[in-house]
A and B are shown apart, each in its own frame.
Chain A
Amino acid sequence: MLNYILKRLGLAAITIFGVLLLIFIAARASGDVTLLMLPQDATDEMIAAFRAQHGLDQPVIVQFWQFLMGMLGGDFGTSLRYQRPAIEVILQRLPATLELTLSAFGLALVLGVTLGMLSAYWRGSVFDRVIRVVAIMLQSMPGFWLAIMAILVFAVTLGWLPTSGRNGFLSLIMPAVTLATFPLSGILRMTRSSILETIESEYVKFLRIKGVPESTILWRHALRNALIPVIALCGLQLGNLMGGAVITETIFNWPGLGSLMIESFVSRDYPVIQVGVLFIATMLILLNLAVDLLFCVVDPRIRYA
């Protein structure tokens, strides 16, 4: 167990190193980092000073080492737009994003598992067919389009909900619901197929032979085992949620991390983009690690070498 945790922590560290390498390469891919890091109207003296200060005349490998040491030492660069440490700008936007993604995730999880279960329970019925068609349709719909259609119907035409901003519960409804649709269909489909698979297992057959009622089999026995792959999927869906949040936040003017990333792209605030990607990636890596370790605790059958 301890061995496994240490091994996973090591792998997570390597992955974070990979993310750092990717960010470094992405910056160098543009040719001249100075032009990325400095505002577009920077003078020649500013460029020369920046180069000298950041050792950009050094070999690439030395530059990467310095970049790495800077990141590990907590020096994440300064936002060009706000003239404040980039990490501060990020942390300031974090609560809004957490509020949005957690609401969406909760919604997707509750609805996805419930509907997936019912769909499996009444497999082949009209309900099952409708749910599955809806699920695959949701998966094909671009989230940003769904969001705009929601604004068109509920804000512009009906006037029930505010079009944008973060102003109380009403303003949370549309962003959270539209953001929830994508993970929802994945969770739903996974729950359904996982329950169907469990229902055909030996121990469920045995319970049937014993005469245990079908509903008891589903609730007491099948569900617990069927939910294991669903939890694994949830870890992966968190990444989708973060990606979706970038777009949803931009559409609804939600002052979170996602819209910050787009704003930073528009204003060429490269340091914030770097730290934002690093921050979100690290968060996802650690969350997935936590999910995996949770399995280890919850399911005694899973024995890791």
Chain B
Amino acid sequence: MTTTDAPPLTSPTLRRAKRRLTTLFGLPIIPVLLLAPMVICGLFGPWIWPHDPLGISFGIRLLPPPWLEGGNWSYILGTDQFGRDLFSRLIEGARIALIVSTVSVSVAAVIGTAVGMMAGYYGGVIDMILMRIVDVKMSIPPVLLTILIGAALGGGLATILISIILVFWADYARVIRGETLALKRTGYVQLAKVANVSDRRIFLRHLLPNLAPTCIVLMTLQFGASLVIEAAITFIGLGIQPPASAWGLLVADGRTYLSTAWWIPTFAGLAIALTALGANLLGDWLRDYFDPKLKKR
């Protein structure tokens, strides 16, 4: 995809270079730094957390962070209403967020890419049905879809995963379909067809490698979006249930103790916002890097 030839100094090239610089102050290091804690905590949580995230001890309820009066350096971000260490609960929350986001985004990507490729390549009835389904999806806000599914399934992890997959797959399908339509007309795909190459081989060898950058960019951006959606669903009580320590749940808990324990919702929300920011920045950077035909939204 990337060429090493010196590009002509036209203004779009300059603009692209400038965009690349300003989004990240020249380096993709910022998004990586923002995402790393979540991934590391998610993978190695039990070896990192200083206390048991579910360990209740009423003697130290609502302990503030150590730099405030009454704080304790053993509980670096304070404790919650059951005396559980907030820092450890955030680490445990990273694990839940990592699982939910990775699973939902990957499944949505596989389904969406497959459907999008078929719709773009074959056209006809498949294409028509797909675009109508995309229309339906676009007309129902994700949260409402979740309420609908949650009402039927009763909330919980399954509700979150199904909702996010249902919301996201259509995005891939729509974008991949558009790209496939363009790729279909290229010389090498036409020639492969003439050479009687099987459809399966055209899909895997000729289309998929060219669609990969678009897919990777979309997956990164949706990783960020899925974090926020997961937290929102959990926050309104349709997602992960207590006593698990999902980030959205911590914000919801903290709502009750807003005037006495501001640190609970503040730090939990910061964890969501910073991680999602990292994913969004990385997605933007990747988009400029690959320069696919994704429209800026």
**Cα–Cα distance between A262 and B232 once the two chains are bound (Å):** 12
User: Are A270 and B151 in contact, CB atoms less than 8 angstroms apart?
Assistant: yes
User: Are A29 and B151 in contact, CB atoms less than 8 angstroms apart?
Assistant: no
Q: CB of A190 within 8 A of chain B?
A: yes
User: Are B136 and A15 in contact, CB atoms less than 8 angstroms apart?
Assistant: yes
With a CB–CB cut-off of 8 A, which chain A residues contact B140?
19, 22, 239, 277, 280-281, 284
Q: CB of A160 within 8 A of chain B?
A: no
Known interface pairs A124-B22, A129-B22, A132-B23; A243-B265 also in contact (CB < 8 Å): no
Q: Spot the interface stretch: B54-62, B201-209, B211-219, B266-274.
A: B266-274
User: Are A240 and B141 in contact, CB atoms less than 8 angstroms apart?
Assistant: yes
**Cα–Cα distance between A29 and B163 once the two chains are bound (Å):** 13
With a CB–CB cut-off of 8 A, which chain A residues contact B145?
277
Q: CB of A256 within 8 A of chain B?
A: no
**Cα–Cα distance between A141 and B272 once the two chains are bound (Å):** 7
Q: Spot the interface stretch: A49-57, A148-156, A216-224.
A: A148-156
With a CB–CB cut-off of 8 A, which chain A residues contact B265?
145, 148-149, 152
User: Are B251 and A140 in contact, CB atoms less than 8 angstroms apart?
Assistant: no
- How many Å from the CB of B81 to the closest CB on chain A? 16
User: Are A246 and B236 in contact, CB atoms less than 8 angstroms apart?
Assistant: yes
Known interface pairs A142-B269, A144-B232; A276-B251 also in contact (CB < 8 Å): no
With a CB–CB cut-off of 8 A, which chain A residues contact B12?
200
Q: CB of B238 within 8 A of chain A?
A: yes
User: Are B18 and A124 in contact, CB atoms less than 8 angstroms apart?
Assistant: yes
Known interface pairs A242-B144, A280-B141; A247-B232 also in contact (CB < 8 Å): yes
- How many Å from the CB of B217 to the closest CB on chain A? 15
Q: CB of B152 within 8 A of chain A?
A: yes
Known interface pairs A22-B140, A149-B265; A144-B235 also in contact (CB < 8 Å): yes
**Cα–Cα distance between A124 and B22 once the two chains are bound (Å):** 8
Q: Which of B114-149 contact A (CB under 8 A)?
A: 132-133, 135-136, 138-145, 147-149
User: Are B273 and A19 in contact, CB atoms less than 8 angstroms apart?
Assistant: no
**Cα–Cα distance between A193 and B136 once the two chains are bound (Å):** 28
**Cα–Cα distance between A295 and B197 once the two chains are bound (Å):** 43
Q: Which of A120-165 contact B (CB under 8 A)?
A: 123-124, 128-129, 132, 136-137, 139-145, 148-149, 151-152, 156
Q: Which of B232, B254, B280 interacts with A143 by CB under 8 Å?
A: B232
Q: How large is the interface on B (under 10, 10 to 19, 20 to 34, 35 or more residues)?
A: 35 or more
Return the CB mask of A11-44 against B: 1 if under 8 Å, else 0.
1001100110011001101100000100000000
Q: CB of A273 within 8 A of chain B?
A: yes
* Residue of B whose beta carbon sits closest to that of A243: B141
**Cα–Cα distance between A233 and B154 once the two chains are bound (Å):** 33
**Cα–Cα distance between A26 and B151 once the two chains are bound (Å):** 9
Q: How large is the interface on A (under 10, 10 to 19, 20 to 34, 35 or more residues)?
A: 35 or more
User: Are A140 and B136 in contact, CB atoms less than 8 angstroms apart?
Assistant: no
User: Are A18 and B18 in contact, CB atoms less than 8 angstroms apart?
Assistant: no
**Cα–Cα distance between A261 and B262 once the two chains are bound (Å):** 28
Q: CB of B29 within 8 A of chain A?
A: no
Q: CB of B297 within 8 A of chain A?
A: yes
**Cα–Cα distance between A265 and B155 once the two chains are bound (Å):** 10
Contacts from B to A (Cβ < 8 Å):
11-12, 15, 18, 22-23, 132-133, 135-136, 138-145, 147-154, 224, 228, 231-232, 235-238, 248, 251, 254-255, 258-259, 262, 265-266, 268-269, 272-274, 276-277, 279-281, 284, 296-297
What are the 6 A-B residue pairs with the smallest beta carbon separation, nearest first? A243-B141, A145-B269, A18-B136, A140-B277, A140-B276, A30-B152
Contacts from A to B (Cβ < 8 Å):
11, 14-15, 18-19, 22-23, 26-27, 29-30, 36, 123-124, 128-129, 132, 136-137, 139-145, 148-149, 151-152, 156, 186, 189-190, 193, 196, 200, 233, 236, 239-240, 242-244, 246-247, 250-251, 261-262, 264-266, 268, 270, 273-274, 276-277, 280-282, 284-285, 288
